[in-house]
Amino acid sequence: ILSSQPEENPHWWNANMVFIPYCSSDVWSGASSKSEKNEYAFMGALIIQEVIKELVGKGLSTAKVLLLAGSSAGGTGVLLNVDRVAEQLEEMGYQGIQVRGLADSGWFLDNKQYRRTDCIDTITCAPTEAIRRGIRYWNGIVPERCKLQFKEGEEWNCFFGYKIYPTLRCPVFVVQWLFDEAQLTVDNVHLTGQPVQEGQWLYIQNLGRELRNTLKDVTASFAPACLSHEIITRNHWTDIQVKGTSLPRALHCWDRSLHESNKNGKAPLKGCPIHLIDSCPWPHCNPSCPTIRDQFTGQEMNVIQFLMHMGFDVQKMAQQQGLEPSKLLGMLSSGN
């Protein structure tokens, strides 16, 4: 999405782009400066404010649209900051700039871990506990409208997409793998090359269902049934499709629908879908998913090799689905 080549970035190749490196370690929420008591500074929320101030003098003041985009912690950062950026620009007198968000791989669930572990580091810490602790270090800021939904001390809820999204005023496009590797890691499902136990396999499938469920009321979304993490900064971002539509095409449709609705409040554009969520039930059941590699040998695997590697029992699954095993294998290979 940062490419200036039309073939790599069909819709926004000629946009003005500013890349803000993630150096604040606070999910872009912090407002805590270094002091005698705190030896670290966490200033993510303030960094974004300062960047906006600086850009106004470099041409942002004449922009029609500002798209705040981010991946992983940056995706969550978009959800936390998009309305604040819009308010900041309004206060500066730039009401004409439409602010929008694009959150990639930052829509995490505060679900039950597969195995509960004590919170000794970021990897073993359950998502809610990590944010609860982090927000105190960072002096984390969450949007006022979301904060009001929760009791004092419960602001950590606003770091989870499905809880903050209904409170947002700015339009946001959510991109999320149904089987996000970072989510599985914090949930203590480690795919280490050992066959997956049945409990893990059921947990992974259930994660996909839960995630799909949280996206059902998200107007603009793109959620492929793949095991991966981050997409908009990867060179395969144009190849992945959901129901025959690629992500750049879906973003183009979203852009058009926002322009149209500003004009006359029309319904979504015909033949231009923006709510795209895979309905097939397991990782990589979408044939356009990025290539999977064996973590140990680095060799590429096809979907059937991957599922066998995951401990997928073809006989048993075929029985559950009421199919012949050969029919199920055929469906898996073609991605149906």
Q: Looking at the structure, tell me whether residues 230 and 115 fall in a common domain.
A: yes
Q: Looking at the structure, tell me whether residues 192 and 325 fall in a common domain.
A: no
Q: Looking at the structure, tell me whether residues 186 and 325 fall in a common domain.
A: no
Pick out the chain residues at pLDDT < 70.
Answer: 192-195, 262-268, 294-296, 302, 310-312, 331-336
Q: Looking at the structure, tell me whether residues 157 and 233 fall in a common domain.
A: yes
Q: Whose structure tokens read 């929760």?
A: 150
* Active-site residue identified among 24, 29, 72, 105: 72
Residue 265's pLDDT is: 53
Report the interhelical angle of 73-91 vs 44-56 (nearest 10°): 50
In Å, what is the CA distance from 136 to each residue of 32, 111, 274? Answer: 9, 21, 37
Q: Looking at the structure, tell me whether residues 216 and 89 fall in a common domain.
A: yes
| 284 part of the active site | no
Its domain, for residue 329, covers 302-335
Residue 236's pLDDT is: 93
15 belongs to a structural domain: no
Q: Looking at the structure, tell me whether residues 238 and 328 fall in a common domain.
A: no
Q: Looking at the structure, tell me whether residues 281 and 327 fall in a common domain.
A: no
| 288 part of the active site | no
26 belongs to a structural domain: no
> For residue 96, what are the contacts with CB-CB under 8 A and spacing of at least 6?
64
Q: Looking at the structure, tell me whether residues 312 and 284 fall in a common domain.
A: no
260 belongs to a structural domain: yes
Total domains in the chain come to 2
190 belongs to a structural domain: yes
Q: Looking at the structure, tell me whether residues 193 and 321 fall in a common domain.
A: no
Coil, strand or helix: which one is 146?
helix
10 belongs to a structural domain: no
User: Considering Cα of 74, then 79, then 83, then 86, what sign does the dihedral take?
Assistant: positive
Q: Looking at the structure, tell me whether residues 171 and 264 fall in a common domain.
A: yes
| 239 part of the active site | no
Q: Looking at the structure, tell me whether residues 173 and 133 fall in a common domain.
A: yes
* Active-site residue identified among 26, 83, 104, 180: 180
How far apart CA 39 and CA 198 sit, in angstroms, is 46
Provide DSSP, 288-303.
TSPPEE-TTT--EE-H
Q: Looking at the structure, tell me whether residues 209 and 319 fall in a common domain.
A: no
* Active-site residue identified among 11, 229, 275, 284: 229
33 belongs to a structural domain: no
pLDDT one-digit tens code per residue, 97-133: 999 999 999 999 999 999 888 888 777 788 889 899 9
